[in-house]
Structure 1
Amino acid sequence: MVTALSARRPARPGPPALYPCTITHVRRAPKRYVLRHRTYLWLVDLDHLPVLARPLRPLARFRARDHFTGRAPSIRAALDGFLAEHGIDLRGGRVLMVAHARVLGHVFNPLTLYWCHGHDGGLRCVVAEVHNTYGERHAYLLHTDAAGSATVVKNFYVSPFHPVDGHYEMRLPPPGQRLRLSVTLQRPDSPPFTALVHGTRRDVTATALLRLSLRYPWSTLIVSAAIRFHGIRLFLRGLPVQPRPGRRTSESAS
């Protein structure tokens, strides 16, 4: 049996791990609409990214160019650079990331999460990196409470049906046997928009990865296509499109 990269299997619920999950978007205004799809996410340690047996590598790759500015030599270096801009030094502390891997050459991560620990092992902060379908990226620095909750002002264009205003209420407890995440957009005089992620942990084995890859083929491409497809449906149902501010390139994530 082929497993991901480490000769010593990490104790549960440590990384690497797979989370088959359901992602749900609930829009309450101006028309109620629910988008639900199934996929799978990875939990990885940024200092010990999984390396699969050669035949399986096209099913899971983690590339620095897919995160933050895309110019750093590693995802960890990119994250440390972002944190340094905000006066945070983890001093080599552990970072756990939940994200889609690059599958068959394609990746799209609407939301990548990083739980950042200090040298003493304590959680220092959480970083939420958002990608939109226009190829732009933005990262939010969050200081979560004991329940994993934080609030942050929205300042990045994501959906063409929401302007850049309001704030996010995020609940991002560290992943364990279950992955339970929620992001709620609160806007003035408007019902909230909510995104939910619910998943259950699986060990990383060749069998588990192959099963998920067959069950959700081209998983990241399908996520991207589903977002666009449902955007078209909302447009056809009469939802007004909000103008997009000046382009934010991947070079300006902050």
Structure 2
Amino acid sequence: MLEHIQAQTSHARRGSLKNAFRYGVDFVLTDLTAPLPWPISRNRFNLWSLWDRHHGGPRGNGQGVEWFREELSKRGFPLDRAQLVLLTQPSFLWFHFNPVSFWIALIDGEPCAFVAEVNNTFGHRHCYFCANDNFSPIRESDMLIAEKIMHVSPFQKVQGDYRFQFKFTNRSIKIRIAYKNGDEGVIATFSGARGRATSTSLMWAAVRRPAGALRVLALIHWQAAILFLKRAPFMKTPAPPDSILSETPVYRENRS
């Protein structure tokens, strides 16, 4: 599996100070075994690249899919029936940065567990392991809730929780993350159609949205400047959490 997800992401701030934006991003969905078209490589420099060291474990010292496999095994996940995939924004030339990537464990094509691999712009990473009881399929109506552990934005406190909703079909992917801290927070979304990654689609992505992850980082700093001008309270950066991974969400809410 190697798919090119030409997606839209949006962020909307909740609370007394409003701010919202929406832009396009290029992600890939891969099981890290598929043959790759020439503009993208695994563990080798290219126009687009997927590096094991950037995923699965500590930032910059990852173990790739083996880390995800080990975490699933610790929790008794039925690995013999599973397909493990990574949803991520690949590196562009020499540059890599991902606000969030997702490791996803599929059984019969349905997501039954995932890890949200969250990175901030201060060099820190924390991962949130999400699954239903007994690893039943995760439906769009399920809300998986995990305590916020790591500082991400200097304009938000390390308090409250993340509320994940995950829609994964054979045609599209839609992810909604609601960060809630009392009346404050952020609603973030990611949505896009699934399609085969080709040399043409990857080259067109480099032309249409040049610089890839570097462009995303520039947009993050642009939005930070807007919030600063709006006089949003600015928080100092605390130390990262000691652990790399938080356990399964503290509780599950079904909205069906």
Same fold, TM exceeding 0.5?
A: yes
CA separation of 1:203 and 1:165: change in aligned 2, threshold 3 A: same
Considering fraction of residues, name the structure with more strand.
2
Task: Give SS of 1:139's match.
Answer: strand
Task: Give SS of 2:26's match.
Answer: strand
Gaps of 5+ in 1: 1-14
Q: How does 1:163-174 map to 2 (within 5 A)?
A: 163-174=157-168
TM-score (norm 2): 0.81
Q: CA deviation at 1:146?
A: 2.9
- Say whether the 8 Å CA contact 1:156–1:164 is kept in structure 2: yes
TM-score (norm 1): 0.82
Q: Percent identity?
A: 25
Q: How does 1:23-172 map to 2 (within 5 A)?
A: 23-46=9-32, 48-53=33-38, 57=41, 58-67=46-55, 68-69=57-58, 70-72=60-62, 74-84=63-73, 86=75, 88=77, 90-91=79-80, 93-117=82-106, 123-144=111-132, 145-147=138-140, 149-172=143-166
Task: Give SS of 1:130's match.
Answer: strand
Moved over 6 A (4+): none
Give the alignment partner of residue 175 of structure 2, picking from 173, 178, 181.
Answer: 181
Deviations 1:15-60 (A, max 9, x none): 31111111110013231101211121111114x155332x654222
- Say whether the 8 Å CA contact 2:48–2:91 is kept in structure 1: yes
Question: Partner amino acid for 1:241?
Answer: F
Q: CA deviation at 1:82?
A: 3.5
Aligned residues: 233
Deviations 1:180-235 (A, max 9, x none): 111001112x1441001121223211111111111011111110111112112211
Q: CA deviation at 1:84?
A: 4.6
Q: CA deviation at 1:179?
A: 2.1
Gaps of 5+ in 2: 133-137, 246-256
- Say whether the 8 Å CA contact 2:110–2:169 is kept in structure 1: no
Task: Give SS of 1:94's match.
Answer: strand
Equivalent-residue separation in structure 2 for 1:193 and 1:65 (angstroms): 29
2:197 is aligned with 1:208: no
